[in-house]
Amino acid sequence: MVCGRCFKVMSFTISCTISKGTVNDPTTFPPPSKTHGSYHWAFERLLTAYPVLDGLLGISLVMHSHIGFDAILVDYLHHRKFPTLGPLTTWTLRATTVGVLVGVYQFNTNDIGLTELITKVWIA
């Protein structure tokens, strides 16, 4: 069955959307809801606890990198095969990891922090 405003093309029926009112009528707004208002912003503020998130992100990224590089050193520069170079590279990695942790700490406490940096890079 086809109404006066709808028409049929081949076997498809194309219907017109019938809107109530005119184009000058105001739009209807959805009813207020706490899940779209205050709870939403409180949850976002909780997620943007920058100092805690910066610390966890900084430590986890550095330790992840340290474990990965340590695995490379164990696989390719083992202490038994390279008695001098193996321990030297291992201690160099440890010193570098400590230096990077100090740098990340300084960046998080004296500058904008990792989460703000990621936000700015993402937006740019």
Do the beta carbons of residue 14 and residue 7 sit within 8 Å? yes
Q: Which tokens hold the place of 122?
A: 């993402």
Q: Cα–Cα distance between 84 and 72 in angstroms, integer? A: 17
Is 76 annotated as belonging to a binding site? Answer: yes
Q: Which residues contact 15 (CB under 8 A, 6 or more apart)?
A: 3, 5, 6
- SS3 per residue for 10-23: CCEEECCCCCCCCC
Please state the residue numbers annotated as binding site for heme b: 64
What residues are designated binding site for a ubiquinone?
76
Binding-site members are 64, 76
